[in-house]
Structure 1
Amino acid sequence: MKKQIYDEKNGMSYTLHGDYYLPDLVLREEEPTYGKYGMLRKQFLKEHRSARYQYLLLTGKLNEHLNQIDQESRKQMEMLMGQMVERQGVTEELKVQDQMKWVRLMNNIKASAEEIVLKNMVYV
């Protein structure tokens, strides 16, 4: 039996280990550049969408996917927070007049926007 074989159908090479040919898989280590939302997405995929996680990992597209989710989530957060600030009338004047009210409103807006982003972009 040959020590190594190449399958032209799927473009993979195999090495003989004992009685079995095992695929020669190499995991490319890339430095992760994603942030909070990328890490949350990765954890979600590992726990709830393991087949998709394995596919992305084996094809080398995991970091690209996580970076994309992180960037899109950040943009969505900025947009939602801007809209909510405008609708609720949270201004710099309010910040000067009543700081605690401004902080409460901003924390509420951030929590609401983040909940929307997590539900619609990260945990799907």
Structure 2
Amino acid sequence: MWGQQQARYLKQNYKVLYMNLLTRGKLNSYLADVEEQAENMFFRLVDQLAEQEGVTEKLKTEHQMLWVQKMNNIHNRTIEIVNGNLIYI
């Protein structure tokens, strides 16, 4: 997901860099690295935000809909953070 977004972004906004990576055969490894970094950042941030906001397994068992709302909010915010810091730079 993240690697594909980065590829589209580079292709549209940084055509020279995109073509250089492509012609040197380094595009796939670059995108795989971006994917790995983004996934690590995403999961780390989700865990940190959930802990900060008190979204626990106890909340999940007692108030399921509230837990889903909070986790969806955290998930969406985290996607925006990762996109802003790694993908659309």
So what's the TM-score if we normalise by structure 1? 0.71
Report the residue type matching 2:12 in the other structure. E
Show structure 2 runs of 5+ residues with no match. Answer: none
What is the number of residues matched between the two proteins? 89
Structure with greater helix percent: 2
Aligned Cα root-mean-square deviation (Å): 0.5
Report the residue type matching 1:95 in the other structure. K
> Partner residue of 2:75?
110
Please report how far the alpha carbon of residue 81 of structure 1 lies from its aligned counterpart in structure 2 after TM superposition.
Answer: 0.5
Runs of 4+ in 1 over 2 A off after TM superposition: none
State the Cα deviation string for residues 2-30 of structure 1 (Å, max 9, x = none).
Answer: xxxxxxxxxxxxxxxxxxxxxxxxxxxxx
User: Which structure ranks higher in relative contact order (CA pairs < 8 Å, sequence separation ≥ 6)?
Assistant: 2
So what's the TM-score if we normalise by structure 2? 0.98
| SS in structure 1 at match of 2:55 | coil
2:86 matched to 1:86?
A: no
Structure with greater strand percent: 1
> Partner residue of 1:38?
3
Please report how far the alpha carbon of residue 46 of structure 1 lies from its aligned counterpart in structure 2 after TM superposition.
Answer: 0.6
Given candidates 1, 26, 34, the residue that maps to 1:61 is 26
Q: Rg bigger for which structure?
A: 1
| SS in structure 1 at match of 2:47 | helix
